[in-house]
Amino acid sequence: MTEYTLVLTTAGAEDEAGAIALALIETKLAACVNIFPVKSIYTWQGEVQRETEWQLLIKTRLSCFAALSAKITELHSYDTPEIVAIPIEQGSSAYLSWIGAQTH
């Protein structure tokens, strides 16, 4: 199993995305969080939604996932926020070491 992962979540507002990112960095649950606007189309409660959201791309250790997921859930305004992990199968050893040094 890989030691490092990318975690994805979205937020409905840029300030919420920034607050989540900062909390993850300050608690050392993430080494880096990229935030960018996205247009999302999805079904929620039986209706198609079209929203501008803010995508967070979170670089972390897989071992941080449970605590990171709990922190996102605590801070998030959505009833069911996206929280998915994508394992990093390969990467620059220097960059992966940096992720490891920045996280618990």
Q: Is 104 helix (H, G, I), strand (E, B) or coil?
A: coil
Mind listing the pLDDT tens digit for each residue in 10-55?
Answer: 999 999 999 999 999 999 999 999 999 999 999 999 999 999 999 9
The whole-number average pLDDT for the span 93-100 is: 96
Q: Tell me the CATH number at 52.
A: 3.30.70.120
Mean pLDDT of the chain: 96
How many domains does the structure of the chain reveal?
1
Half-sphere exposure in the Cβ direction for 35 (13 Å, CA): 17
Domain that includes residue 91, residue range: 4-102
Please list, in sequence order, all residues whose beta carbon lies within 8 angstroms of the beta carbon of residue 48, skipping any fewer than 6 positions away.
41, 42
